[in-house]
Amino acid sequence: MGKQKKKGQVTFFIIAGIVILLAFGLVYIIKYTTTVFRPERIVPPELEPLDKYITECLSETARDAVTLAGINGGYIRFPPEIEKDPNSYISTNPIFEKDIKVPLWRYRGMTRIPSEEKIKSDIEYYINQNIGSCFSGFEVFSTMFEIKEMGDLSVDVELLKKGVSLKLNYPLQITTFVTGQTRTLDDFRVVVPMRLKTTYELAKKVMQAETEDLFLELKTIDLIAMDVDIPYTDVCLLYTSPSPRDLS
């Protein structure tokens, strides 16, 4: 029983270590290597300032969404079984400004790896919920354009090998005060070159290999057993009887 308990503890720390390592690696990549690409498209010259502003809003919000999904183990919206169980995730609040939760992908015999569709859905949800606050800045264009929303905005996300592609459908009718011309803008696209899909697939392979073969766990147990200074089969407690002076 003692060995099984120790084995389970080793498994927990190995899996937790893998998740944290991948999360920190992802944060490093995002922080130091991310540059958002904007696919070329034809925009009327007079609308370029507005088009650039909306694209910048999409870029900023998309970066935040992809970053959050990456450091949260693929989640932005946590399912109840994770959200309500503090033991099912690792909180890294002392390190990050926001309360980040890194869910254990293997917990109590259950695999909790988010699907690719779940990751895409969460990114889309985050952008839909947060990009509106950026668009409140349309007031800076109030002397140049009359801007009317012609429909609800929607976001499509694709996880690519070398980045995350985002398409924002936001139909706008814009009238330019100087010329009196009315035009429309409705299609905005960016690519965040952060390899979320590649990292996700690699993490899944490591997790699945560890679950099937226990190779990391077994190697760790071997290393522990080789060190005579680390108790392996039992823990020895040294007890010294108190002296009469200590009891007085």
pLDDT in tens, 11-57: 444 555 555 555 555 555 554 444 444 556 678 888 999 999 999 99
Encoded tokens for 51: 């088009």
Its pTM stands at 0.72
Position 95 scores a pLDDT of 47
Distance of alpha carbon 68 from alpha carbon 214, whole angstroms = 29
Q: What is the pLDDT of residues 47-85, one digit of tens each?
A: 999 999 999 999 999 999 999 998 888 999 999 999 889
Contact 166, 157 (CB under 8 A): yes
Taking CB atoms within 8 Å and a gap of at least 24, the contacts of 140-146 are: 140/53, 141/49, 141/50, 141/53, 143/177, 144/49, 144/50, 144/176, 144/177, 144/178, 145/47, 145/50, 145/174, 145/175, 145/176, 145/177, 146/174, 146/175, 146/177
Q: Alpha helix locations (H) across the chain?
A: 2-33, 48-71, 80-83, 116-135, 196-213, 215-226, 244-247
| Identity at 183, one-letter amino acid code | R
Q: Which residues pair with 111 in a beta bridge?
A: 106
Cβ-proximal residues to 178 (8 Å cutoff; 6+ apart), any chain:
46, 144
Read off the pLDDT of each residue in 196-204 and give the average, rounded to a whole number: 90
Contact 71, 181 (CB under 8 A): no
Residue 240 has pLDDT above 80, yes or no: no
Residue 159 has pLDDT above 90, yes or no: yes
Distance of alpha carbon 78 from alpha carbon 120, whole angstroms = 14
